[in-house]
Amino acid sequence: MDLRIQRTRKCIADAFMEIRRKKELEKITVKEIADAAMINKATFYNHFNSVYDLSEQLENEAINAVLSSIEPSEWLTGEATKKMAKIMCEKESVFLTLFSGSRYGMLAHRLEEKIKQLVYQFRPQYEKDIEKDIVLTTMIIGCFHASAKYKDFDMNQAIEVIAHINDCLIKEFNM
């Protein structure tokens, strides 16, 4: 990608993130982002279709950054759970900004969708197996909500417990 395009996109993303920390997504306008990024609205529209498109692209980038650090063969291990939780903790401010307010529920949904895609690439037979699909949903959504609920406790201990539970589920259901 052209360096100017990269810089412009970064400038837009940075402006959006700064505004997003203070405002709900639904209240952010293209004009506001363009002014903060010191570009015109047409330039914004050369890169993104809408504020929601920009937000969704940034959300996907954040999730992909976490998931790309895990090897396909690791997905069905407690170690993958630990790695993912550690990276998400390191990038907590990004996730809290992008997925705040009305977007909160989207994080769990997107994680489930993307992790299942990765697992199905490695184990395609699981996609049509309702038992395995339910176990994956339980592992992913359970990890997400348990991590969020126990984030004010010893996070390392919480992650160890969550990883152990996932290992037990993996073993119990021969995954």
pLDDT digits (tens, 9 = 90+) for 79-94: 998 998 888 888 889 9
pLDDT band (50, 70, 90) for residue 154: confident
**Rounded Cα gap, residues 156 and 164, in angstroms:** 12
Comma-separated ranges of CATH 1.10.10.60 domains in the chain: 3-48
Least confident window among 82-86, 99-103, 104-108, 147-151: 147-151
- pTM for the model stands at 0.86
For the domain bounded by 3-48, which CATH number is listed?
1.10.10.60
**Rounded Cα gap, residues 161 and 51, in angstroms:** 38
Report the C-alpha dihedral over residues 118, 16, 41, 3, rounded to 10 degrees.
-60
End-to-end Cα separation, the chain, in angstroms: 40
**Which DSSP state fits 1?**
-
